[in-house]
């Protein structure tokens, strides 16, 4: 082929240009530790690194979520521990109360401690976390979930929170509630021969239940009873079928007894205010303690009947203890689940990072040896260029 002078220049320049570009590229790889920096360099791998980065950020968020959830649940777990201790103590006290050698003074002392324990349980139920949130309140976490109203020696505790607490995303497909709500812990405790009370919405007076429980299992007739005030001082009771059970006088805080049930109201009722007492499968822990102290402090109670009452109460207390332990275990198992989620996340995070570095990390050995090679080639090209450039016939025309 005929060879034009310009071809020599061009060939040399093109090849030196290419070497320069490769050297620059390798240098960038070596100095940054990354194979590519923009989508143009390597669109497919770049897009993959964006995806991986997204996955990493998501996993990081789950990790944060789990950390915050673990912290919260940790607080609930330890609070549940204290609650369990208190319920255990209540159970000890109710066993102790059965001691036949105890007289009224001993029993009163036990009652006093029982009430103390109950107060503490309510306090624990109103525990706040570092942000001031009530941990057993569910959604309404800025409001005290348990309100307590003492009438005489009886307590009425009401739960004002919600049924559910907020859920936190712990993995792509799984959410977990931040904790138990008070209703689950203290109210939904199974119990034989239990009742629940309710006030009619249309009531205008200030009267409210302070407590209601089945006192005498044998006399108890399970039914849905309606109590209607016929005057501020008397009420009439009807059963589920509308049949009259009887009329009773009313004094605030005084116990009313019928069909094996014991109950008391406080406040001033208006005429035709009505309340209902219904059979339930649950008895809350506070009613159980009321039931216990009521039995212990009844001076007219014969020993045999006291023993029956105490054994019944013990049944309820044992249920309550089992329930609280069970609820605590639930938190424990959730914490365990969180831990395993966290481990999965760590593993995922590791996988993502290793894939990321496989995609985009410079292979230093390879890049360094390539760089040495390219530099040698460039030097050779430069040397050849200067040599060849000197060759010209014009040098010899004198």
Partner 1 sequence: MSTMLQIGASALHSTNRAMATASHNVANVATEGFSRQRVEFNSAGSNMVGSVAVGRGVEAGHPQRIYDQYVTEQLRNIGSEKAYLEVIATQGEQLDGIFGTADSGLQAALESFYNAASDVSNDPTSAAARAVFVEQSDLLTMRFNTVEDQLQGVERVAQGQISKTVAEINKITESLVDVNGMIKVARQGDGSARADLLDQRDKLLSDLSDKMNINAYENEDQTVNVYLKQGQSVVMGVRRSVFEESIDRETGQQSVDIMFNNARHTIGDVITRGELGGLLEGANEMITQTRNTLGRTAMGLGDAMNTMHRQGIDLSGNAGQDLFSFAGPDVKGAGDNAGTAAVTAVIDDFSQLTAEDYAMTYNAASSDWTIKNTTTDATVTAAGPSISLDGFTLTTSGAPADGDIFYVRPSRDGIVSFASEISNGSELAAASKIRADSSNVNAGDGNIEVVKITDGNNVSLTDPVTIQFDDPPSTFSVLDSSGGVIAAAQAYTPEATIAFNGWEVKIENTPASGDTFEVIPNNNGSGDNMVMRQIAALRDTELFVNGTQSATDAYTSLVGSIGTQANIASINLEAKEVAYTSLQDRRDSISGVNLDEEAADLIRLQQAYMAASRVISTSQRMFDSLIQML
Residues 159-188 that bind partner 1 (CB under 8 A): 159, 162-169, 172, 175, 183, 187-188
Q: Which of 352, 51, 346 minimizes the C-alpha distance to 171?
A: 346
Q: Which of 244, 216, 248, 235 minimizes the C-alpha distance to 275?
A: 235
Q: Which CB sits closer to partner 1, 274 or 301?
A: 274
Q: Which CB sits closer to partner 1, 45 or 298?
A: 45
Enumerate residues 53-72 that contact partner 1 by CB under 8 A: 53-54, 57-58, 60-61, 64-65, 68-69
Counting every residue written for the chain, the total comes to 398
Q: Total residues at the site for partner 1 (CB under 8 A)?
A: 74
2 belongs to the binding site for partner 1 (CB under 8 A): yes
Which region, judged by CB under 8 A, interacts with partner 1, from 91-99, 158-166, 288-296, 304-312? 158-166
Among 50, 271, 372, 383, binds partner 1 (CB under 8 A): 50
CA atoms of 106 and 103, how far apart (whole Å)? 5
Six token digits for residue 389: 């450039």
Q: Which CB sits closer to partner 1, 304 or 397?
A: 397
Six token digits for residue 152: 């005489």
Q: Which CB sits closer to partner 1, 241 or 303?
A: 241
CA atoms of 260 and 249, how far apart (whole Å)? 17
Cβ 194 vs Cβ 281: under 8 Å: yes
Q: Give the E-state strand segments of 128-273 in sequence order.
A: 146-151, 154-159, 167-169, 175-177, 190-199, 208-214, 225-231, 234-238, 244-249, 255-258, 261-266
Q: How far is the CB of 135 from partner 1 (least distance, A)?
A: 9
242 belongs to the binding site for partner 1 (CB under 8 A): no
CA atoms of 322 and 332, how far apart (whole Å)? 15
Q: How far is the CB of 191 from partner 1 (least distance, A)?
A: 12
243 belongs to the binding site for partner 1 (CB under 8 A): no
Which region, judged by CB under 8 A, interacts with partner 1, from 102-110, 244-252, 263-271, 275-283? 275-283
Among 278, 308, 318, 337, binds partner 1 (CB under 8 A): 278
Can you name the residues that pair with 150 across neighbouring β-strands?
155
Q: For residue 135, what are the contacts with CB-CB under 8 A and spacing of at least 6?
A: 72, 75, 76, 79, 127, 128, 129, 141, 179
Six token digits for residue 329: 């275990």
Q: Which CB sits closer to partner 1, 130 or 365?
A: 130
241 belongs to the binding site for partner 1 (CB under 8 A): no
Binding mask 99-138 for partner 1 (x = CB under 8 A): --------------------------------xxxx--xx
Q: Which CB sits closer to partner 1, 139 or 364?
A: 139
């Amino acid at each position: 082929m005929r060879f034009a002078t310009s071809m020599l220049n061009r060939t040399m320049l093109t090849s030196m240009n290419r070497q320069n570009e490769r050297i620059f590229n390798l240098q960038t790889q070596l100095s940054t530790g990354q194979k590519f920096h923009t989508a143009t360099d390597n669109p497919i791998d770049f897009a993959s690194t964006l995806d991986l980065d997204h996955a990493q950020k998501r996993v990081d968020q789950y990790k944060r979520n789990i950390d915050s959830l673990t912290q919260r649940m940790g607080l609930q777990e330890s609070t549940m521990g204290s609650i369990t201790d208190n319920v255990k103590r209540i159970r000890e006290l109710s066993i102790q109360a059965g001691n036949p050698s105890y007289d009224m003074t001993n029993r009163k002392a036990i009652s006093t401690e029982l009430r103390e324990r109950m107060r503490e349980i309510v306090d624990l139920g109103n525990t706040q976390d570092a942000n001031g949130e009530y941990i057993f309140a569910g959604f309404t976490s800025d409001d005290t979930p348990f309100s307590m109203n003492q009438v005489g020696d009886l307590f009425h505790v009401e739960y004002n929170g919600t049924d559910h607490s907020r859920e936190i995303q712990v993995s792509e497909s799984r959410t977990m509630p931040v904790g138990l709500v008070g209703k689950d812990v203290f109210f939904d405790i199974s119990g034989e021969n239990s009742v629940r009370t309710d006030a009619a919405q249309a009531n205008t007076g200030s009267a409210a239940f302070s407590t209601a429980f089945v006192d005498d299992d044998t006399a108890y007739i399970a039914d849905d009873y309606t109590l209607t005030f016929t005057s501020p001082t008397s009420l009439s009771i009807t059963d589920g079928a509308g049949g009259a059970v009887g009329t009773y006088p009313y004094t605030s805080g005084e116990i009313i007894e019928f069909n094996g049930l014991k109950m008391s109201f406080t406040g001033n009722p208006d005429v035709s205010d009505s309340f209902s007492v219904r059979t339930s499968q649950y008895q809350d822990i506070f009613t159980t303690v009321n039931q216990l102290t009521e039995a212990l402090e009844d001076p007219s109670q014969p020993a045999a009947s006291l023993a029956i009452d105490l054994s019944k109460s013990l049944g309820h207390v044992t249920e309550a203890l089992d329930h609280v332990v069970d609820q605590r275990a639930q938190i424990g198992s959730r914490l365990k689940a969180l831990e395993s989620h966290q481990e999965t996340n760590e593993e995922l995070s590791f996988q993502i990072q290793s894939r990321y570095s496989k995609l985009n990390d410079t292979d230093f050995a390879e890049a360094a040896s390539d760089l040495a090679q390219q530099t040698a080639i460039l030097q050779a090209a430069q040397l050849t260029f200067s040599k060849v450039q000197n060759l010209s016939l014009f040098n010899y025309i004198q």
